[in-house]
Structure 1
Amino acid sequence: MYDKRTLHLKVQELCDCYATTDPLKEMSKLAQEPATEEGALKWIALAVLHGINGNARKITLTRTGDGRVKVTAKYRKSGLPSPGGEIGQKVFDAVKGITHLEEEKGKMPVALGIRDSSIEVVVKTEKGEEGDELSITFPA
């Protein structure tokens, strides 16, 4: 049977599923999991939950030319657990599937329902100095 749920809906469901967990702990486990679309969607959900819980302004995922992936948060200049190269690539693909941003540079608001509330984040993709960048900006 064909799964008619969209990537956007799956991210919202994962946000609901992991809302009571420690997002950083769950994110750190992802690099050891198989590289699947589900893993990428899980990383997106956990990044959003961490951003909400940690009062982050922006979380940026950077993919270098050699396939390495680095994650930083703007509320403090420190690294977050990387999803790894393979899942990182799938995160970029999943976000493009949700936002339909196919150009090298684009920006779009994305509303996410989480439990009995919702949040609107801004997703931005661009080519940066280190490689491809994907940013999730949280409301002030």
Structure 2
Amino acid sequence: MEDRRNPHLKVQEMAQCYANRNPLEAMSGLAGEADQEEAAIKWLALAVLHAVGAGAKKIELTLDAQGRAVVTAKYREATLPSPGPAVGARVLAMVGEILHLEGGTGQGLLALGLAGDNLDIKVKLEDEDGGRQLSLKFGE
């Protein structure tokens, strides 16, 4: 039977499922996951949970021109576990799908309901230096 839930709903469900786990620990093994779709959903949910729990204002996932996936959080200098290039590419594509961004670039608001609260995340997808970058801004 085909799963007809959309990626937005899946991210929200995954965030609720992982709400009591250590997001960084759970993120660290995602680069090697066989199911890249599921890994991308999980990574995005865990990134949101990390931001909420650690007070991050912004998380950036960059796929550079050499195909590397690099993640940074803006709250202090810290690097988050990379989802790897394949899952990172799927995260970028999925966010574009969720926000209905034409051409895969643009910005919008991702609203998630977590533990009875609503969380509005400012999302920006852009091409940068031959690669692509996703920025998630929290609580401005």
Aligned to 1:74: 74
SS at match of 2:109: strand
Runs of 4+ in 1 over 6 A off after TM superposition: none
Match of 1:94 in 2: 94
Question: What letter is aligned with 2:7?
Answer: L
Tell me how far apart the structure 2 counterparts of residues 56 and 132 of structure 1 sit (CA, whole Å): 21
Aligned 8 A contact 2:59 2:72 in 1:
yes
Distance 2:130 2:79 in 1: 15
Percent of pairs with identical residues: 47
Q: Which position in structure 2 is the counterpart of 1:135? A: 135
State the 1:44 CA deviation: 0.2
Amino acid at match of 2:30: L
Aligned to 1:36: 36
Between stretches 77-86 and 12-21, larger displacement belongs to 77-86
Counterparts of 1:103-122 in structure 2 under 5 Å?
103=103, 105-122=105-122
Count of aligned positions: 140
State whether residues 35 and 90 of structure 1, in contact with CA within 8 Å, keep that contact through their aligned partners in structure 2. Answer: no
Matched, 1:47 2:44: no
TM-score (norm 2): 0.94
The answer as to whether partners of 1:104 and 1:127 remain within 8 angstroms in 2 is no
User: TM-score scaled to structure 1, two decimals?
Assistant: 0.94
**Paired residue type of 2:34:** P
Query: Following TM superposition, by how much is the alpha carbon of 1:32 offset from its aligned partner in structure 2, in angstroms?
Result: 2.3
RMSD of equivalent CA atoms: 1.3
Cα distance in structure 2, aligned partners of 1:19 and 1:45: 9
* Secondary structure of 2:107 counterpart: strand
Partner AA of 1:70 in structure 2? V
For residues 55 and 84 of structure 1, the distance between their equivalents in structure 2, rounded to whole angstroms, comes to 24
AA matched with 2:76: R
**Residue 130 of structure 1, CA deviation:** 6.2
Q: Give SS of 2:136's match.
A: strand
Aligned to 1:13: 13
- Going from structure 1 to structure 2, the CA distance change for 1:86 and 1:35 (only over 3 Å counts) comes to farther
